[in-house]
Amino acid sequence: MERIDVANGLLWFVAFLFSTTFHEAAHAFVAWRGGDSTAYRGGQVSLSPLPHIRREPIGMVVVPLLTALTRGWAIGWASTPYDPNWEARYPKRAALMAAAGPGGNLLIALASFVALKAGLAAGVFGAPRAARFEHLVDPAAGGSGFGFLGQVLSIFLMLNVLLFVFNLLPFPPLDGGSALGLVLPEALAQQIRALTRNPMFSLAGLLIAWQVFPMIARPIFGIVLRLLHPGLVYG
C-alpha cells in the first residue's frame, strides 16, 4: 500500500484553500464591478477563506482535507452567488465574471512560475532528477534550506495551472461554459447559459469534463516542465 506523505498533503490543502479563495473572490469582484452586488453582500469579495467556506464547507474543507490526507493532493469545489436577472441583462459582463475565476488561477500560476525561474537563474534551484507535480525543482548544492520553498512553489504552480485549464473546459457548469459568451454569438451563448441551469446537463458536463481532464493533465505537466527546464527531457 502506497504511503501518503501527510505533510505534503497538507501543503496541497493549504494551496487549494488559498487558490480557490482567490478564484471565487475574482468572480465576486468582477461581478460587483459589473453591477451585481450579490456576492459582495455575502462578503465574498475577500481573500479571507471564511465567507467562501461558510458557503461551501464540504467542497472547501471536508473533501479537500480528506483527499489531501488519503491521496496526497487536494480536490474540491466552491461557488459564488450571482443574480440571474443581472446575468440575463448583461451577458457579456456575466461571461467576464465567469472568466475571472480561472484568470485568478492563471495569475497565481504565473507568479509561481516567475519565482521558480528566478530561483533557477539565481542558482537557488536546479533541475530535479525525477520531476513530480510537487517537485519541479531541486535545491541547488549547499542550499537544501530552499527545498521547502521549491516544493511550495511547485504545488502552487501545478495546482493553479490545472485549475485554470479544468475550469476553462467548455462544459456547463464549469466557468468555460459561461465564459464562451465572450466570443460566441449572443443567441448561442444564451442557450449554453440555459444549460448551466439544468441540473441534468450540468451533471453530464461535469462527467464529460472529468473524463477529458485526465487525458490532458499529463501533457500539461510536460509543457510546464519544458518551460521551466528547456532542453531537458523527462521520461
Tell me the pLDDT tens digit for each residue of 209-225: 667 777 888 899 999 99
Q: Tell me the three cell numbers of residue 204.
A: 453530464
158-169 confidence digits (pLDDT tens): 999 999 998 988
Calculate mean pLDDT across residues 172-194. 75
The conformation of residue 74, written as its DSSP 8-state character, comes to -
pLDDT in tens, 57-112: 999 999 999 999 998 888 888 999 999 899 888 888 999 999 999 999 999 999 99
Q: What pLDDT, on a 0 to 100 scale, did the predictor assign at position 234?
A: 76
**CB 117 within 8 Å of CB 61:** no
**Higher-pLDDT residue of 2, 20:** 20
**All cell numbers assigned to 162:** 490545472
26 contact partners, CB below 8 Å, separation of at least 6: 100, 101, 103, 104
Contact 116, 103 (CB under 8 A): no
Single out the residue of 142, 146, 72, 160 nearest to residue 116, CA to CA. Answer: 146
The more confidently predicted of residues 189 and 6 is: 6
DSSP 195-215: HHT-HHHHHHHHHHHHHHHHH
pLDDT, mean of residues 41-49: 96
User: Residue 212's pLDDT is what?
Assistant: 74
Report residue 203's pLDDT band, with 50, 70 and 90 as the boundaries.
low
- HSE (CB half, 13 Å, CA atoms) of 145? 1
CA distances from 17 to 47, 156, 218 (A): 10, 11, 23
Distance from the first to the final alpha carbon of the chain: 24
* Contact in structure between 165 and 220 (CB atoms under 8 Å): yes
Asked whether the predicted pLDDT for residue 3 surpasses 70, the reply is no
Selected residue with higher pLDDT from 3 and 170: 170
- Mapped onto helix, strand or coil, the DSSP state of residue 45 is coil
Residues 6 or more apart in contact with residue 39 via CB below 8 angstroms: 27, 28, 31, 32, 45, 80, 81, 82
pLDDT for 108 equals 98
pLDDT at 1: 40
Give the three-class secondary structure for 132: strand
CA distance 25 to 114: 23
Is residue 231 pLDDT above 90, yes or no?
Answer: no
| Average pLDDT of the residues of the chain | 87
Lowest-confidence region among 2-6, 62-66, 134-138: 2-6
pLDDT of 22 = 98
Three-state DSSP at 164 gives: helix
